[in-house]
Amino acid sequence: MCTLEKRGDLFHLTLTGDDEHRFHPDTITSVLSLLEQAKSQSTKGSVLITTGHGKFFSNGFDLAWAQSAGHGAIERMHQMVKSFKPVLAALLDLPMPTIAALNGHAAASGLMFALSHDYVFMRKDRGVLYMSEVDIGLPVPDYFSALVVAKVGSGIARRELLLSGKKLKGEDAVALGIVDSAAHDSAEGVVEATVSLGESLAAKKWNGEVYASIRRSLYPELCRMLELTVNNLATHNL
């Protein structure tokens, strides 16, 4: 499902396999466990890079698993929405810079997972961003909306992301200010670019707890939704 590898100062979290990397409850548990592992092993200069294998970064929640429950489908959807919230909280609270290297498509909760990183890089040759909820008739969880408001500065960009059903390619996502870069011709190229950024950030040897505290202070409403304390760093640690 996913792996965590530490190479020097860089943690590499990888969604493995050539499937759609949908967030099934087991996948959610696995990702959360690896984020907690990275946090416990973090030192000054640590950086997290998240990517995936194959065509998809992540295509969202495991809707087929929910629908297989028949009349219990809505309950299963609520279960995934609830259990996914701590994953985004863990990323917002991680004591290190975080970078998403999108190897392919990122949709719905998969896109929210990407946007929870500090930096997002896309390929220019493949991959779209797609919030499918308006097309398939599912409400957007409140903390998803709070994340988009926090991370996407333009009202026009938020409309294009949530209310249009558009599949945004890298060039369009950069123009709308949703991602940082889409100048890479392959999955390997986007990972190489994020490793280069990660190494430059790692060289600064920042205090991770201070970094996380500043990050939380940037997004007070999102932190409230994710049940994170905006600033719980004692002043004597500064």
Q: pLDDT tens digit string along 29-83?
A: 999 999 999 999 999 999 999 999 999 999 999 999 999 999 999 999 999 999 9
* Tens-place pLDDT, residues 4-25: 999 999 999 999 999 999 999 9
pLDDT band at 230 (very low <50, low <70, confident <90, very high): confident
From CA 209, how far away is CA 237, in angstroms rounded?
A: 9
Q: Looking at the predicted structure, is the pLDDT value of residue 237 above 80?
A: no
Helix (H) or strand (E) holding 92: helix 73-93
Continuous H helices in 94-132: 109-115
Q: Are 191 and 52 in contact (CB under 8 A)?
A: no
Say how many C-beta atoms besides its own lie within 10 A of residue 222's C-beta.
Answer: 23
Please tell me the distance from the alpha carbon of residue 104 to that of residue 59, in angstroms, as a whole number: 10
Strand partners, 181: 121
Q: Give the tens place of pLDDT for each residue, 163-194.
A: 999 999 999 999 999 999 999 999 999 999 99
Determine the pLDDT at residue 1.
Answer: 84
- pTM listed for this prediction: 0.95
Half-sphere exposure of residue 66: CA atoms within 13 angstroms, side-chain side: 18
Hey, what are 208's tokens?
Answer: 């991770």
Q: Which residues contact 136 (CB under 8 A, 6 or more apart)?
A: none
> Could you read off the pLDDT of 111-149 as tens digits, one per residue?
999 999 999 999 998 999 999 999 999 999 999 999 999
Q: Is the pLDDT assigned to residue 203 strictly greater than 50? A: yes
Number of C-alpha atoms within 13 angstroms, CB side, residue 52? Answer: 29
- Give the pLDDT confidence score for residue 234 in this predicted structure: 47
Would you say residue 202 has pLDDT above 90?
Answer: yes
Backbone angles phi, psi at 7, to 5 degrees: -125, 100
pLDDT score, position 141: 97
Q: How confident is the model at residue 233 (pLDDT cuts 50, 70, 90)?
A: low
